[in-house]
Structure formats: structure tokens, C-alpha cells
Amino acid sequence: MAPLITVENLAKEFRRPKRHTGTFGGIRTMFTRQYTVSRAVRDVTFEVAEGELVGYLGPNGAGKSTTIKMLTGILVPTSGTVEVAGTVPWRDRERNARNIGVVFGQRSQLWWDLPLRESLRLIGKMYDFSREKYHANVERFTELLDMAEFLDTPVRQLSLGQRMRGDLAAAMIYEPRVIYLDEPTVGLDVVAKERIRAFIEEENRDRGTTVILTTHDLDDVERLCRRIILIDHGTVLYDGDHAALRARYAPYRELVVTLADGATADIDLPGVEVTAAAAGSATLRFDPDRMSAADLIGAVLARHRVSDVAIVEPDLEGVIREIYAARSVRA
Amino acid sequence: MRTLRMYFLLYGAALRGQTQYRGNFVMMMFAGLAYQGVGLAFIWVLVGRFGGIAGWTLGQVAFLYGIRLTAHGLVTVPCAQIFSVDQILREGDFDRYLVRPVNPLVQVLTGSLSLQVFSDLLGGLIALGAAMSTVRIDWSAGALAFLVLAIVGGAMVELAIVLAFASLSFRLLSVRSLILLSLTTMQNFGNYPIAVFPAALRFVFTFLFPLAFIAYLPSTVLLHRTGELSVSPVLAWGAPLVGVLLFAAAYRLWVRQSRHYASSGH
Amino acid sequence: MSAARRRITGAYECARIQTLIAFTYRTDYLFNLVGLLLQVYLLRVVWTSVYGHRVSVAGVTLPTQIAYATLGTLQYWLFNPWGFSMIPERVRTGKIGVDLVRPVPFLHQIVSSQIGLTVGLAPFALVALPFAVLLGRAAGPASTGAGAVYLLSLVFGYLLTILLASIVGMMSFWTTEVSGTFMMYRMVSQFFSGALVPLWFMPGWLADLTHVLPFQATTYSPLAIYLGRVHGGALVTTLAVQVLWIGLAWLALRLTWARALHRVVVQGG
């Protein structure tokens, strides 16, 4: 089956007039002919099939938001092609808009002074959505997101968690084929985050809605995304699933050893890297393919007086940190 | 047309959002009227002491004033947000509009509303009404029709000017000062019959910054003063059409410039 | 550091900050000035047109009238650049809390800040002056003496402007939606200050009304002195009236401030 989203050699350059400083800097800037060029996206290629739930990750300034903006039709690419559900977003903006829903974590799409219910109604009308399906969806989302108690409250008075739920409902009320979520759980408490994640997962699973998730919260990613696309300096660093990511970039496990009577360990074992050492503890990194945890523990116990051990799997955050570190060394 | 339907839908939403700020409404209306009234008061004192401006009586100047203000009101009531486009772009609200299947200009114009703008329209209608009872005009159906056309055409000229400047905000950082300057120029110079100004300025206001088409030229037609024009009376009769043409050109400029949108930050 | 010395330093700081802020917004002010110069030009054209062939109307010649319009417009701008008064903004953003804690009495802060802003704008006004003279016309003072007294009267007019604006600004302690009232005030005060229409052209009853209100003492009085329209005994009376209004305004301001302070305490910030 043809992929829903195709991105090929996508690039975006920003030419900004060079800002002059000093006297009359403002006026000189207005008339300048010099430009600074910043290449936010250099060469990005990937495909997304319908129904996937993809995490789109990268450090700040990596080109994440720029890519998403090209996918949603906000920006026009400098070169390369992008197609979503058979439509070129920047060329057929309105047609593309009908297929997508967007949640900007930082700012709301709702009408500030009106009750939430009104915002949903307006959106239903803007998308010419069928009335029966609209009402059915309002009921369904109200229940799923537990919005009954604040559906008639002006959006201005909602808490952050309530507003985020409202924004999510607004983005999906007209059943778009793709939704782009930008930091949907930022600033929320643990319970609220879980509720939102559960909702996203359910919509993806039951309705087959394709989800592109951009977030710095790696718990979101661990919970929801089977596939991760990692971007940095405007190019794709990694595109694949979770496990493979770890296997490729962080093929290790760590053993945290607490030493008896707070001695500083001088642990020197073949195939073992000491990644952290302090008075009374040490973290040993080893390759589970080469050495089993049991063997390592045995070797440590033989040589040192140990009071406690713990095995730590590299979490997604650690993996990604490794990737960024390697990248900046290489770059 | 769907765009128009969407406009009314969203404008209604903006109105409903404002109902809670009703309290200040009356005061704002008075303030708006006062703002417009001061200019008229100046003219009133002037004419009272000097008997006329460039041969125009007080009633005639008030008529001109009324047309201009009503036309201005016809711009600010539906499209007041056009004056704040660069702020809207800077604050990143435009992204939100681009992601919806509705004309982004319509969304810009309906994003927010300040009830005070109705005072412009009200003030204009009052001035116009008062003037119409003073000046000697034969109000045939044709004359009334032309009056309506003139006001709508005048609104389109003003809108075209502001829209053209607003389009620049996609590329330039801040056009707010430019737009305010245009606004004050229209509000100051637009209240006087252009015949008062020296030839060079008359040229500027007819062919460069088309202020004359907003109220002055149509007024000369209705007041039977086309004789004083230094340009062909055809321009005066065709003022409404000029408004439509200018607006069409300004809208095309807007659409073209919006392709240069480089959304900033989040 | 003595309390008085602290006050002076504090007041100076308030002023300095506003001067810097004015400089930061210099592009906006420059455009603002262009609009101002356009208005000066417009007024000259209109006055020339209405005078027609007449040499003098109500005892005022055209050059004098144009000089009045030119200087009056510039002067009014310098006193009331735009915006209105710092008070509403500070109340709304909550910064007022910080202001109340500073070691400078609030009213002095407001006055110093306003002065600082004017100092920051003065360069712009000076730059605009030659252009204004070019586009409008201006005459020299009626005499050197008139010129000197004009400066004094200008200071009085300026003080009065700040005080009056501050009194109205105090309203923001009672209600947040004040922009309507401010605009009203601004328009009324502008008209009656004589910035647009000199008193000598107003119809009798209007001129009488204007004389009763404080606003003419801000813009009209100094200009009348400059142009030699008032001299001798009338000049002294004009100055005295200015001083009287300043005194009344200061009293009113203190009273309003006392009540506002009481209200702040009651509301608990």
C-alpha cells in the first residue's frame, strides 16, 4: 500500500536580512541587501504509512518544527518534495488542511472567550463536518477525555490540563487522517499526561489515525511510539523502531555497584567500562552479548567487597544523549 | 460563497466572545465619538469664524466628513484586525490559521474584535445624517444609489491601502508605524476638500496615495462641485470602481506576499 | 544616605530609565514625528486657505496664526507623545507593587518618570523643529522678554499636564477598563488646551468655557505669551493662573492618591 506521507530530500533555507547594529541600525536593516542564510532542514527523507504512530525527535534547533511546518503546509520548502494523503501541502493548502489535525503544545487553537463546546462547534462547521458524526464525536470525546464538567466553561478559565484535552478534542473532532502533536503533554502533571497518552493510543489503535508526535518528553515516546525518527542539524540520524535504536546506539547495560564500607573501587575488568565512580559506588558498563550479568557480578564480587548491586537498562533518554554526543563529536 | 459564509461564522464567534466586555462598551463608544468629534469641532470653529473652506460651506464639509467617516467605519467594523497584522504575525497566530481549510485573511480579520469600532460607523452616519439635512442635494434614487456606492467604494480604497501595507509584514519586520502613519494621514487630510491643497499635494493624493477617492471625489459629484476639480470628472464618477480595482490589486499583493511567510518560533 | 538624598537619587533613576526606553522606541517615535510634521503642514495649508486675502482676523495675522499652529502642535506632542500615563499600565501589570516598595514616594516616581520620558523625547523634538519651521512656519518670540517668560510658562504648562494626566490615571486603581475614559479625557483636554484651535477664534461662549477649564493653561498660555498676545498685566495674570491650577492639581492628586493607597491596602494587591 502506498505510504500516506512521503518526504523526499526536503530542505528549507531561511534568508533573513542581515541585522545591522549601531546608529540607524533599524533603518539600515530595512534597506539592506545582505542576507544571512540559515539551513534549518538540509535533506530529510522518510515515509509514513497510514496508521503509524511515529515519534519525531531532535534537540532544539534540529529542524523538527520546520519539517512539521512543511508537512502541515505552513512553510514552503526550498527544495525536495512532500506529499500527504496525495496532496502537496504548500500548494493545496486548504485541501491538505482538511486531512490533518494539529495540536500546538504551547498555544491553543481554541476560542479564548467562548465555552469549549462553542470552539468544537465552530471547528465542526469550519470543516463542513457532518452533524450526526460531529455530535457522536463530541459525546465520545467528552467521555474519553472526561470533559463533561468543563465543556461549558470559557476556555480562558480552564486549567492547562483541561485546555490540552480540549485542544486534542478540537484537533480530532472532524476525524482527520493525520494528526501532528507538538508537545501535547508539556507542563502537565503525571495523571494528566497519562490520560492524554491513553487517548492518543486509543485513537491510533481504534480509528487508525496516523500520529506524528514531536516531544521532548521521552516517556511519551516510550509509551506511545513504535517508530522513532531522530533528526539533528537538519538531517535524519535514525529512522526505525525502539529496540533497534537501542541496539544500534546503546548496546550495553549498566551494573551499579555499591561497595561496602564506602571504599573507592578500583575496578578494572576486561570488557568493562567504568562510566561513573564515586566514594562507595561505581557504574560499570558492559556488552550483554559478550558478557552476562551473572558473570560480571561474579567477577566483581570476587575482587571487591560489595553490599548491593543493581542492573540498569539504558533508557531512551540515555540512548538519545549518546547519539547527540556521538554526533557532535563527528560534526 | 464559502469564504463569505466562513467570515460570518467566525465574525459571529468574535462578537460573542466580546459580549462579556459589554461594561466598557458605552464609554468606549463615547470615546470613539469624541475622538472623531474633535476633528469636526475644529472644522466647525474654523468655518464659523471664516465662513467656509475653499468655498465649501460647513454643511458641505460635514457631508465630506460624514462620507469619509462612514467609509472608515465600514472598514473598521468588519476588518479592524488588518491594522494589527504585523503583531499577529509576530505572535505566531498565523500558523494556526494556515492549518485550517479557511482563507487565512478571513481568519486574521475575525480573530479578535473591539466593540469600539462601531463608534466610527455610528459617528459617520450621524455626521452624514446631519449634513444631508443641511446641504441642498436633490435626493433622487440615483443620487442615493451613488452615495451608497461612494461609501462602499471609499471603504475599499482605504482597505486596499492598509491591506497593501499589511502585506509587507510578511517580509519586513514591522510595518505598524507605516500603517499608523497612513491612518493618521487619512484621518487628518481626508477631512478637507482636496481643493484646499496646493497642486503638488493634490496630485499626490489622487495618484500616489489615493486619498481623494475615499470621500472627496464622490462628494464633488453629489454636491455638484465637479467644476472645481483639476482632474477629469470621470474620475469622480468612477470613484467606486477605482475602489474595487484597488482592493483587487491589494488582495493579490497579499496572496503573493503570504507565500514568503517564515513562521517564527512556535 | 539621608532620606532626601535617597529620594533625589531614586527620582533620577526613574527618569533615566524612561529616557532609555524612549531611545529604544526611537523608530516608532521617528514615524510618529513624520505624522506630526505632516499635521503641521496640513494646518499651514488649511489656515492659509481660510485666511484667503484677509490680512488679519480677530486681530491675528496669518503668520502669527501659522506660528501658533506649528509650535502648538510640536509642543503638544512633546508633552503628550502618545500613550497616556504610566499609571494604568503599571497597575494592570502588577508592577505597581514594586513601585510602592521603592524608597521613593510613588507620586514622585510618576513625575520623575514622566520627566525622564520627556527628556528622552526632547532630542526628537529638536530634530523636528527645523522641519516643522520649514513645513509650517514659525516666528521668533514677540520679544526677548517674551521668549524668556515663555520658557517659564512652558515649564508650568508641562507640570500641569503631568499632574492632570496622573489624576485621571489614578482611575486605574478603581477599575481596569479605563481606556475609554482616557481617550475621552485625551480628546477633551486636547481640544480645550488650544492645541488645535486657538482661543481667540472660538465663539464667545466656547472661549469662556475654555477659560474656566485648566487645559488652556497647558498649551495655550505659553504660546500666547510667546507670540506676544498677552503682555504686561495680562502676562502676570496668565502665569498666576497657571500656578494656581498647578496647586489645585497637586492637591487633587494627593487626595486621590491617599484614597487609592487606602484601596490598594484593602484589596491586598
pLDDT digits (tens, 9 = 90+) for C68-95: 888 888 888 888 765 445 555 555 555 5
The angle at the Cα of B252, spanning B249 to B257, to the nearest 5 degrees, equals: 125
Ordered by start, the domain boundaries in chain A are 5-247, 251-313
Cβ separation B263–A74 shorter than 8 A: yes
End-to-end CA distance of chain B: 33
DSSP state of B204: I
Cα–Cα dist C7/C102, whole Å? 10
β-strands A178-182, A210-214: how paired? parallel
Q: How many CB pairs under 8 A join A and C?
A: 3
* Chain B hits for C201, Cβ within 8 Å: 45-46, 49
How would you label C195-216 residue by residue, b for 16+ Cβ within 10 Å and e otherwise? Answer: bbbbbbbbeeebeeebeeebbb
Q: How many CB pairs under 8 A join B and C?
A: 96
Cβ separation B188–C39 shorter than 8 A: yes
DSSP assignment string, A107-124 = S--S-TTSBHHHHHHHHH
Cβ separation B31–C196 shorter than 8 A: no
* B249 Cα to chain A: minimum distance (Å): 22
Q: What is the mean pLDDT of residues B222-248?
A: 90
- Count Cβ atoms within 10 A of the Cβ of residue A72 and give its class: 0-12 exposed, 13-18 middle, 19 or more buried: buried
Mind listing the pLDDT tens digit for each residue in C145-186? 888 888 899 899 988 988 888 888 777 777 766 667 777 788
Q: Which of A263-277, B3-17, B178-192 has the lowest mean pLDDT?
A: A263-277
Cβ separation B177–C32 shorter than 8 A: yes
* B2 Cα to chain C: minimum distance (Å): 36
Cα–Cα dist A241/A228, whole Å? 6
Q: What is the mean pLDDT of residues C59-76?
A: 87
The percent of residues in chain C predicted with pLDDT above 90, rounded, is 6
3-state secondary structure labels for all residues of C206-232: HHHHHHHCHHHHCCHHHHHHHCCCCCC
Most confident of A142-146, B29-33, C14-18, C186-190: A142-146
Cα–Cα dist C44/A237, whole Å? 68
- Helix ranges (H only) for A173-292 are 190-202, 218-224, 242-249
Is ipTM > 0.90 here? no
Cβ separation C191–B41 shorter than 8 A: yes
3-state secondary structure labels for all residues of B113-158: CCHHHHHHHHHHHHHHHHHHHHCCCCCCHHHHHHHHHHHHHHHHHH
pLDDT, one tens digit for every residue, chain A (331 residues): 789 999 999 999 888 767 666 666 656 666 667 778 888 899 999 999 999 999 998 888 788 889 999 999 999 999 999 999 999 999 999 999 999 999 987 889 999 889 999 999 999 999 999 999 999 999 999 999 999 999 999 998 999 889 999 999 999 999 999 999 998 888 888 888 898 999 999 999 999 999 999 988 888 888 899 899 988 888 898 888 877 877 777 788 888 888 887 666 677 777 788 878 777 888 888 888 888 888 888 888 888 888 888 888 877 777 777 777 776 544 4
Predicted pLDDT at B205: 92
Closest CA to A252 of A203, A289, A303: A289
* B212 Cα to chain C: minimum distance (Å): 15
Ordered by start, the domain boundaries in chain B are 2-258
Residue C253: band (very low, low, confident or very high) from pLDDT cuts 50, 70, 90: confident
Cα–Cα dist C160/C253, whole Å? 11
- CA A182 from centre of chain: 7
- Per the CB < 8 A criterion, the answer to whether C209 and C125 are in contact is no
Cα–Cα dist A284/C206, whole Å? 92
Closest CA to B65 of B116, B169, B135: B135
Architecture, CATH, for domain A5-247: 3-Layer(aba) Sandwich (3.40)
- Per the CB < 8 A criterion, the answer to whether A177 and A99 are in contact is yes
- Chain C residue at shortest CA distance from B35: C187
Closest CA to C167 of C110, C117, C115: C110
- Separation in Å, CA A231 to CA A77, A222, A224: 17, 17, 18
- Count Cβ atoms within 10 A of the Cβ of residue C243 and give its class: 0-12 exposed, 13-18 middle, 19 or more buried: middle
Please list, in sequence order, all residues whose beta carbon lies within 8 angstroms of the beta carbon of residue B109, skipping any fewer than 6 positions away.
B7, B11, B78, B79, B80, B81, B82
Q: What is the mean pLDDT of residues B195-222?
A: 91
Q: What is the mean pLDDT of residues C245-262?
A: 87
Residue C268: band (very low, low, confident or very high) from pLDDT cuts 50, 70, 90: very low
- Chain C residue at shortest CA distance from B28: C180
Residue B26 has pLDDT above 50, yes or no: yes
Cα–Cα dist A122/A117, whole Å? 9
